[in-house]
Amino acid sequence: MKITNIKSTYKEIFQSYDMPALEEHIEKIIELDAYLPYSSTFFCVTNTQNLSFEYISKNMTACIGLDATLLKAEGMRYFWSRIHPEDLDNWLTALKDLMAFTLSEIPLEERNRMTYTWNYRLMNGEGKYVNIVQNTSPLKFDFNDKPIVGLAHYTVLDPKVKLEVSATAKLLNEQNAYETKYFNNYNQKLLADGLSNRERDIVRLLILKYSSKVIAEKLSISPNTVDTHRRNILKKLNVTSTGELIGMMKASKFVI
């Protein structure tokens, strides 16, 4: 797919009607970057109105070997040019579906508590494709309450890990736990595609080693309901124990 076509589709998804400004809390995030250790993750402040990176954290070059000055100057077009050609269509479809879901299903008062995750392969500075898992939280909205400035966290995974392109939307609830509101896989069917969003949340919390009681508190449901979901999950995935379930989910390498 040509960059001009990507730009057209991307702009259609994120079309908005006011010019955002970076707020004080974004500037504080940037200040913290100087104190963060180097790791396999980096973050950017993204602006979908002018297709730019408002800020790029210092870890970016260490993670993927790209020149931060060039990335800042060329913006998203340069970044797009490095996405694996086989992932482009699925990536754009995922973005379009996430935006459509948000505008139609998420109340205005909840949009600032949403977070979105998707993945793709990106060519690093050495000319090798690596897996990128991108998680973006909205920071600024336009007059139509469409997210246009976001804090994007990028996790770099070894290219040997086989990841299906998928997209997830989660809501941070009143108990400060993330609840899955949307999930879709854009490649072949995944092992856990048969799980409901609630079951997916429970699997994610089980992987974090939370008990049924704690999971119930985080998701505002009863412990008995959690246990019922756990039994249904084991049955759906044809496993006999929670330990086996957790091991299988970690080995399957997909974005929960």
Q: How many CA atoms lie within 13 A of 144 on its CB side?
A: 11
Residues 6+ positions from 16 with CB-CB distance below 8 Å: 48, 49, 142, 143, 144, 146, 148
Q: What are the pLDDT digits (tens) for 166-211?
A: 899 999 888 888 899 998 888 655 555 578 889 889 988 888 888 9
Mean pLDDT computed over 87-101: 92
pLDDT at 165: 86
More confident residue, 151 or 17: 151
- Nearest CA to 90 out of 12, 163, 178, 195 is that of 163
H/E stretch holding 144: none
Q: Can you give the pLDDT at residue 26? A: 65
Residue of higher predicted confidence among 170 and 250: 170
Phi, psi for 207 (deg, rounded to 5) = -60, -30
pLDDT digits (tens, 9 = 90+) for 13-71: 888 877 666 566 566 666 666 665 667 889 999 999 889 999 999 899 999 999 999 99
| Chain mean pLDDT for the chain | 85
**Domains and their CATH numbers in the chain:** 3-188 (3.30.450.20), 190-256 (1.10.10.10)
Q: What is the DSSP string of 1-15?
A: --HHHHHHHHHHHT-
Predicted confidence (pLDDT) at residue 154 exceeds the cutoff of 70: yes
pTM as predicted: 0.74
Q: Residue 84 pLDDT more than 90?
A: yes
Residue 18 to residue 142: CA distance in whole angstroms: 5
Helices first, then strands: H and E counts in the chain: 10, 7
Better-scored residue on pLDDT, 44 or 143: 44
Top mean pLDDT of 90-99, 157-166, 179-188, 228-237 is at 90-99
